[in-house]
Structure 1
Amino acid sequence: MTLGTQIAWDDTILPFQLDRSDIRGRVLRLDGTLDTILSQHNYPPAIEALVAEAAMLTALIGQTIKMQWKLSLQVRGDGPARLIATDYYAPKTEGEPATIRAYASFDEDRLQPDAPGFEQIGKGYFAILIHQGSEQKPYTGMTPIAGQSLSDCAQAYFAQSEQLPTRFHLTFGKSTWTGGSESWRAGGIMLQHMPKAAPQVTGEGGSGEGGLLSAQDLMSDDDAENWNRANILLSSVEELELVGPSVQPTDLLVRLFHEEAPRVFDPQAISFGCPCSEQRVRDSLSIYSARDIGHMTTDDGRVTADCQFCGAHYDLDPATLGKDAVDPGD
């Protein structure tokens, strides 16, 4: 593959469907975008890995939402890895890239540098929020932290909250081009059984961890056979096929699922994006009184704010903030 072709698939989500198995899915490449997300911070490797996995899951899941909607993924725990937060913003107009951002909050004093990041989340929850506009209350669904990875949590979420059998196969890490600099490379595939009108679920609890539902609890007969076959085929994928420059996503789908009649749809470009701005900071402080603003004012007589996602720093005159603000243009 030429470098130009390889770059064409970077930071792209390719939706597809397996017509003979009633399964849909997405192939993801998240390269320069992931590099940009992680370069905003100086995370320890365990936290970097969590943010990378969460960003990939968010991109794969977010691609299904409607134009102009926003999807957020949050992982909260009582361990040293306290919070992983990501946002996916659907394109505002057709043809534009979707945008994504992510950050983590962690307790550096308690973090074990050599331990896997997932083990350091502790007890908590995995949540997905879908924002449908300013006039609509966001949809929220959550499940307990379960399994051995964030991908396992996402699979449990879809089985429990959406009753949709779902599988993620992700790989990511740093690589170096010959004569170039080190950068992040990430690729993954998501499989999801098409929704049924009436999922076959009993009230007896599931076979997953802690009684959560799993994919096996949601299917039977031909559906279960098709699902198991597709998962076996997916398990044969190699890491270099997902992140390397040698196999295009379209060719990979044919290699893995040629007997399932794969059909691809238009790819969706994705890039790093953070909608924070000085005006948004001002708007968020507009509900506070002058007295409240006074409590936020530093010894230098300024109100400051930092964006956790992109690191932007805002330094504002307190007299221009809150309900009693003076127009900064006066």
Structure 2
Amino acid sequence: MNHSAKIAWDDTVLPFQLDASDIRGRVARLDGVLEQVLAQHDYPPMIEGLIAEMALLTAMIGQSMNTRWKLSLQVRGDGPIRMIATDYYSAPKDGAPAQIRAYASFDRETINLNTDPMTQFGKGYFALMVDQGQDMAPYQGVTPLAGGSLASCAEAYFAQSEQLPTRFSLTFGQSQVPGEDAHWRAGGIMLQHMPKASPSVTGEGGSGEDGLLDAADLLSDDESENWVRANALLDTVEDIELIGPTVTPTDLLVRLFHEEQPRVYDAQPIKFGCTCSDDRVRQSLSIYSAKDIATMTTEEGIVTADCQFCGAHYEFDPATLGFEAKDGGA
């Protein structure tokens, strides 16, 4: 594979449905998007791997939720890794790419880069937030960290907050071909049982880790049979098939689920993108008084701001900031 020649299905999310099982899903492949996300920072490989996993989850979840504007995922902890954050911006029109951005916050002095990454979060939570834009109330759901991966945290979130049995099979890592630099590549499949009007959930806790709900707690016998069968088929997938340099998403679905009658829809292209701007920074500072702005002013007499997602640097005259700005920030 020539990394310089983009593969047609790279940086896309393919929606599908298994008609025989009442299950929907997504196949995602990320390549150039990850390169651009990670190029904004100098992260150690452990952190890069977590961002690759989180970006892959974000691409599939964001596309499946049909948000009007933005979906955000965050994992926060009290350990050396403080936060992994991603944003998914919906495509402005059919055929246009959705946008993803991501960053991590961690303590370089105390992090152990030679152990299981999930142990470095300590105690914390997984959060999903949906912002539908102006004049729409935002939504946020939070669940405890569960399992040994970010994917398992996302599965636990959907079981608790949405009561939707959900499964992710992901793979990601650095790929290299002779004569080219190593680069990150990721691929995965998301399965999700179709929503029901009245999930059969009791208030007695679930059968999952620490009493969290599990798929078995949410499905009837017939539904459970379909879910178990589809998951058993997904268990046969190989990493090289998920990464997909030679196996197209449609071919992969036929290999895995041909008896489940897979039906595919239009693929969603994905690109790296950041929404930061001079105006947005000014707006975020508009709630502060002149006294507050003064505390942010450097010895050089300017206020600076850096975007954690893309690294953009902004400098402002403090007199133009805050709700007491002399000229309204023009």
Q: TM-score, normalised by structure 1?
A: 0.96
User: Structure 1 residue 163: deviation in Å?
Assistant: 0.7
User: Structure 1 residue 329: deviation in Å?
Assistant: 9.3
- The 8 Å contact of residues 97 and 271 in structure 2, kept in 1 or not, is answered as yes
Is residue 131 from structure 1 mapped to residue 131 from structure 2 by the alignment?
yes
Amino acid across the alignment from 2:201: V
State the alpha-carbon separation in 1 of the partners of residues 5 and 104 from structure 2.
Answer: 33
Amino acid across the alignment from 2:187: G
Task: Provide closer, same or farther for how the CA distance between residues 234 and 4 of structure 1 changes in structure 2, counting only shifts above 3 A.
Answer: farther
Residue 167 of structure 2: aligned partner: 167
Residue 47 of structure 1: aligned partner: 47
State the alpha-carbon separation in 1 of the partners of residues 306 and 161 from structure 2.
Answer: 34
State the alpha-carbon separation in 2 of the partners of residues 98 and 8 from structure 1.
Answer: 16
Residue 9 of structure 1: aligned partner: 9
Amino acid across the alignment from 2:243: V
User: Structure 1 residue 6: deviation in Å?
Assistant: 6.2
| 1:215-230 map, 5 Å | 215-230=215-230
State the alpha-carbon separation in 2 of the partners of residues 161 and 67 from structure 1.
Answer: 17
Q: Which moved more, 1:251-260 or 1:315-324?
A: 315-324
State the alpha-carbon separation in 2 of the partners of residues 79 and 3 from structure 1.
Answer: 36
Task: Provide closer, same or farther for how the CA distance between residues 276 and 182 of structure 1 changes in structure 2, counting only shifts above 3 A.
Answer: same
Is residue 58 from structure 1 mapped to residue 58 from structure 2 by the alignment?
yes
User: Structure 1 residue 177: deviation in Å?
Assistant: 2.6
State the alpha-carbon separation in 1 of the partners of residues 328 and 126 from structure 2.
Answer: 42
Cα deviation code 1:239-264 (max 9, x no counterpart): 11111321000000000000000000
Q: Which moved more, 1:98-107 or 1:241-250?
A: 241-250
Structure 1 unaligned blocks of 5 or more: none
Aligned length: 330
State the alpha-carbon separation in 1 of the partners of residues 4 and 74 from structure 2.
Answer: 35
Cα deviation code 1:30-76 (max 9, x no counterpart): 11001111111111222111111111111110002335321000111
State the alpha-carbon separation in 1 of the partners of residues 130 and 93 from structure 2.
Answer: 18
Residue 73 of structure 1: aligned partner: 73
State the alpha-carbon separation in 2 of the partners of residues 30 and 303 from structure 1.
Answer: 37
Amino acid across the alignment from 1:178: P
Task: Provide closer, same or farther for how the CA distance between residues 139 and 299 of structure 1 changes in structure 2, counting only shifts above 3 A.
Answer: same
Task: Provide closer, same or farther for how the CA distance between residues 2 and 289 of structure 1 changes in structure 2, counting only shifts above 3 A.
Answer: closer
SS of aligned partner of 1:110: coil
User: Structure 1 residue 215: deviation in Å?
Assistant: 0.6
State the alpha-carbon separation in 2 of the partners of residues 312 and 3 from structure 1.
Answer: 27
- The 8 Å contact of residues 46 and 115 in structure 1, kept in 2 or not, is answered as no
State the alpha-carbon separation in 1 of the partners of residues 313 and 117 from structure 2.
Answer: 28
User: Structure 1 residue 190: deviation in Å?
Assistant: 0.1
User: Structure 1 residue 316: deviation in Å?
Assistant: 1.2
| 1:1-330 map, 5 Å | 7-66=7-66, 68-327=68-327
Q: Which moved more, 1:37-46 or 1:254-263?
A: 37-46
SS of aligned partner of 1:49: helix
Amino acid across the alignment from 1:218: L
SS of aligned partner of 1:7: coil
Q: Which moved more, 1:78-87 or 1:178-187?
A: 178-187
Identity among equivalent pairs (%): 67
Amino acid across the alignment from 1:59: A
User: Structure 1 residue 3: deviation in Å?
Assistant: 8.3
User: Structure 1 residue 174: deviation in Å?
Assistant: 0.7
Task: Provide closer, same or farther for how the CA distance between residues 52 and 41 of structure 1 changes in structure 2, counting only shifts above 3 A.
Answer: same
